[in-house]
Chain A
Amino acid sequence: MGSQDVHSKRQHHIDMVKGDVAPTVLTPGDPGRVEVFASLMDDAKKVAEKREYITYTGTKDGVPVSCTSTGLGTPPTAIGVEELIRIGAKNVIRIGTCGAIQDFLKPGHMIIATGAVRGEHTSEEFISMEYPAVADYRIVRALVDACEKLGLPYHLGIIRTHDAFYLESPWALGDFRIRLKPWVDMGVLALENESSTLFTLCSMQGIRAGTILASGYSILEEHDEKIHHEENIRKMVTAGIEAAKLLHERGLA
């Protein structure tokens, strides 16, 4: 199949064509979070909805930005991201929640990933495990600057992406602390389920990718409070939109 064909067609899963998304697309896992994005834009319209892929495109302070949910996990993320690239996405920024695993992380803190542990299998179907899941340094810079501008505390570092939520979470079957100890000791900041495939796929194709996550308390500690507050999620989405604006200003969108 020629590449022309692949790029001009309506994409099979995300149900969109070229022109439907802005150069910068924010990709939450949760389809519900796309509405949060829409509420923070100056104007945003729903462009498509099929399966777990919901897309809004709009502008903020004159800059076009899109948001497409990927669903949970790397298999649908790989499909969503691949199709977004085919219709012209140049910057893909995951916005999401996570399970923090360092005790200095608190609710309201943002985590900006420089790289991700490839604890999932989808990316391995694309390329050997030796290949690094690394975020694009210009997106990392835009996210850092966005957090500083918004006065949000942030941490920069490596996160762990994996597949089996019920093996590595506070609700896990079995002793998740034993599984997590090597990563805690290596300084990994948090667990989530999408970034390493996003980073790998985008690096392979010369597309910029990054991730910002809203932290809660460490899942290794006991807390009665809700892990994630809506207010902190809104702040994280706001930082993602701000980063999209900075990328546009810097000629990267």
Chain B
Amino acid sequence: MKKQHHIDLIPGDVGETVFIPGDVHRAKFIADHFDDAEFVAHKRQYVTYTGTYKGVRMSVTSTGIGCPALAIAVEELINVGAKNFIRIGTCGALQKYVKLGDIIIATAGVRGDGTSREYFPLEYPAVADFHLLEALVQAAGERNVKPHVGIVRGHDAFYAESILANGDYLARDKEWIESNVLSVENETPTLFTLTTVRKCRGGTILTPVGHHLFPDEMISEEAMKKAIALETMIALDAAVILDSIGNK
């Protein structure tokens, strides 16, 4: 098989589980948490490392921001053999009880993005893979972390719906705040719909770095790094749990 057009990888280049951060520079940060990892490819915003953790082969590929770029990465990663996709990312909190630096595990995504609509009718639900979701919850528990487990909203226009937005972003958020949506981010609905239909597993773990209800609170660089390291370790442990349950 030819090298995949965007991610520049061939079959055998990645493990069955691939972590997919949005941030290009987070690929190396995540790979640094493996027991060993090697740089594999870098084209556009797609940076890939492959290695092992607790004897399980796994990879990380950055997707860049947003669902259009994520869909390309996921399709091409499936072509080269990836089966489990765990998004590791940041988000903006929507609920009072969600604090900056907390851990959020998504059960499903609000489909506020355009990419998943181009693929699948809007009626189709964006849900996490059940076994991957359970693996993330279990892995968090084993590290004595109490995650928020629930629905997150994925959408396209950051500057329409974030604490840095032009205009009244809280008016836009109201519907989601009142319906128990935990936070806002930019990739999960396409990840969940695409992986479900392609018979792969999709999961998302996030940490809020901004709060829509308390926009003046910002997380410190150090606290953010700590939270991302924690969600990374939970995701790595979840990959090991998934490897042990096989193709259930």
Interface residues of A (CB under 8 A from B): 114-119, 127-134, 136-137, 140-141, 156, 158, 182, 186-187, 196, 203-206
A203 and B127 form a contact (CB under 8 A) = no
Question: A132 touching B151 by the CB < 8 A rule?
Answer: yes
Task: List 12 additional contacts besides A118-B122, A132-B151, A204-B178; criterion CB under 8 Å.
Answer: A114-B127, A115-B127, A118-B125, A128-B110, A130-B153, A134-B125, A137-B149, A158-B127, A158-B196, A182-B121, A187-B197, A204-B179
Compute how far the CA of A156 lies from the CA of B149 in the bound complex, rounded to whole angstroms. Answer: 20
* A-contact bits for B128-168, CB 8 A (1 contact / 0 none): 00100110010000000000011101000000000000000
Q: Measuring CB to CB, which residues of chain B are less than 8 angstroms from any residue of chain A? A: 107-112, 120-127, 130, 133-134, 137, 149-151, 153, 175, 178-181, 189, 196-197, 199
| Cβ contact within 8 Å between A134 and B121 | no
**With contacts A158-B196, A203-B151, A203-B179 known, is A132 near B125, CB below 8 A?**
yes
Quick check: B134 and A141 within 8 Å, CB to CB?
yes
B241 to chain A, nearest CB (A): 15
* CB pair B130 A130 closer than 8 Å: no
Q: A134 contacts B196, CB within 8 Å? A: no
Please determine whether B108 and A115 come into contact, CB atoms closer than 8 angstroms.
Answer: yes
Instruction: Indicate if the CB atoms of A186 and B125 lie closer than 8 Å.
Output: no
The A interface, classified by DSSP as helix, strand, loop or mixed, is mixed
Residues of B near A130 (CB, < 8 A) are 110-112, 122, 153, 189
B122 touches A127 (CB 8 A): no
Residues of chain A lying within 8 A (CB to CB) of residue B120: 186
Q: Which 10 A-B pairs have the closest CB atoms?
A: A115-B125, A134-B108, A132-B108, A115-B127, A132-B125, A204-B179, A118-B123, A130-B111, A129-B122, A117-B123
Contacts A115-B108, A158-B124, A187-B197; A204 near B180 (Cβ below 8 A): yes
Of the listed residues A116, A132, A137, the one surrounded by the most CB atoms of chain B closer than 10 A to its CB is A132
